[in-house]
Structure 1
Amino acid sequence: MSQTTLAASQGQSLWESAKVHFSTDPKLPGKFFEPRQNDPMGDYTPNPDKSLPLSPARQALVDNIISLYEMGASVERIMRYTPDAVYNDELGYADDRYKIAGQWFGLPYIINEAKSRGHQVVTNDRDLIQFLHHMEWHPKLVPKTITLRSLVSLSLDPATVDADFIRVKYHKDQASAKDYDNEGVGVMLKKWQANATAKMLGTVDPELKAFAPDKGAGEEK
């Protein structure tokens, strides 16, 4: 049997590796799908020419995520997350899809323009996609351009990993060499920000209201 036939018979795409990082139980809350990584150099400058190829379904997922960064939030794009998903970056920790929606729908309130200047896929495994991302932000209250280069990790939902519409269990945006600490004052402030943003926008943003049923979905039952 050829490698191509073998991969197909096992349900494995020819585009990604078979390496598995997380549980295959889709009922586990998103917090159990956190990727942990320290980079001694902390250099997340992308080289798009060296980007790993993705299947059409995975490329569509990455395209949707990048559109979110560029203030292209929509109900359909937020649906890329499972109800119990986690979004974790330097400023926020949102542990359900309602709070995640608040992070993305809230961008136009504080940002004039956001532009992705390039990305490089560096990991394309069975349940994990990672790419280096170069972003430029133009805040409303600060007359300057903020440039960020980060490692974006997308832990994939086991229930949809082979579907045309793949969903995300954990989305981490890491801009520093050292991974985030999930204990202490820092993470408390990040959680407070995510909670407060969703609460504030929930009264004025009709699209955010679509995700109100997801409140608390990330809590262990």
Structure 2
Amino acid sequence: MAQQAFPPYQYQYFNDVAEWYVNPSTNENIFKSLKNMSSLTGKSGGKDTRAQALQDAYEKRPDPIALTKNPDPAKNSFSGVDYEPYPEDSIKLDPAHENIVQSICNLYSGSANEEDMMVYAKEAIYDDPWSYCDTRYKIAGQWYGIPKIMKSSRTIKTQVVSSKHDEIIFKLQQEYTPKPLPIAKKVNSLVTLTLDGEGKVKYHKDMWNEKDYSHEGLGKIMKELNGDHLTKITQPPESL
């Protein structure tokens, strides 16, 4: 089967994202690529009232210090959080929640699998430092990009720090190796999953430091551009 050819601006986007994983200070390059992609494929419409309603109903704002502060000050960051997972201290999950976490970790590790994607409700939000998606299909656009951008992505370890009927919060250590720059980098983050009454993920928040997201300004624009347009590149199944 012939390899799919992408337009030059899409290749540039992949390269910029891969470089950003190694050096986060290069995020301005991603924004420029997204602006170029948006001008060629259609403008982003911005966050609509449906997405706002989802956000208002399901976004949780966890207290990172209360959830992750280590008794050993040497292990905390300057802001007082420790996102390093300690599996031996993890809260035990029931089978349903354990399956959700496993599917989420599979997606972080590049599974690009429809079965794993079904842990999300059809209308759900994904929110991380560089993406804001407001449907399962758009979320799939992020996860289906992992195998295109990364030579490898693997979950090193996790630690569940909170588990309720409508919430799972866990620390995640993921190791990314970009294709253009084969330098492995471990990233620690705090993942918050908000669930609906059917046990589907309605809000997935991934925090890389102690700061929560404001949904304002230039950062919001970049995240929405990414969420709205990445499906044009990664082309997840329309059935999602």
TM-score interval for Structure 1 and Structure 2 normalised by the shorter chain? 0.7 to 0.9
In the TM superposition, what are the counterparts of 1:5-154 in structure 2 within 5 Å? 29-31=53-55, 32-39=57-64, 40-154=79-193
Q: What is the CA distance between 1:200 and its match in structure 2?
A: 2.6
Q: Which whole-Å CA distance do the structure 2 matches of 1:209 and 1:146 have between them?
A: 32
Of the two structures, which has the highest relative contact order with CA contacts closer than 8 Å and spacing of 6 or more?
1
Contact conserved, 1:128 with 1:156, CA < 8 A, in 2?
yes
CA displacement at 1:181 relative to structure 2: 1.7
Tell me if 1:170 matches 2:195: no
Q: In 2, distance between residues paired with 1:180 and 1:148?
A: 18
Which AA in structure 2 matches 1:113?
Answer: S
Q: For 2:172 and 2:202, how far apart are their aligned partners in 1?
A: 19
Q: Structure 1, unaligned stretches of length 5 or more? A: 1-27, 161-165, 212-221
TM-score by length of structure 2 reads 0.69
Please give the per-residue CA displacement for 1:20-72, whole angstroms capped at 9, x wherever unaligned: xxxxxxxx953221111353423211100010011111111111111111101
The answer as to 2:226 corresponding to 1:193 is yes
Greater shift, 63-72 or 139-148, is seen at 139-148
* Residue 194 of structure 1, CA deviation: 1.5
Distance 1:65 1:132 in 2: 12
Cα distance in 1 for partners of 2:166, 2:63 equals 19
- The percent of aligned pairs where both chains have the same amino acid is 37
Q: Which amino acid aligns with 1:49?
A: E
How many residues are aligned here? 174
Amino acid in structure 1 at the alignment position of 2:237: L
Q: Which amino acid aligns with 1:54?
A: L
* 1:121–1:131 Cα contact (<8 Å) kept: yes
Q: Distance in 2 between matches of 1:37 and 1:191?
A: 22
Task: Quote the Cα distance in structure 2 between the aligned partners of 1:119 and 1:50.
Answer: 10
Q: CA RMSD in A?
A: 1.5
Q: Distance in 1 between matches of 2:126 and 2:88?
A: 28
Structure having the higher helix fraction is 2
For residues 115 and 75 of structure 1, the distance between their equivalents in structure 2, rounded to whole angstroms, comes to: 18
Structure 2 gap segments, 5+ residues each: 1-51, 65-78
Secondary structure, aligned partner of 1:76 = helix
TM-score, normalised on structure 1? 0.75
Paired with 1:182 and 1:38, the residues of 2 have a C-alpha distance of 18
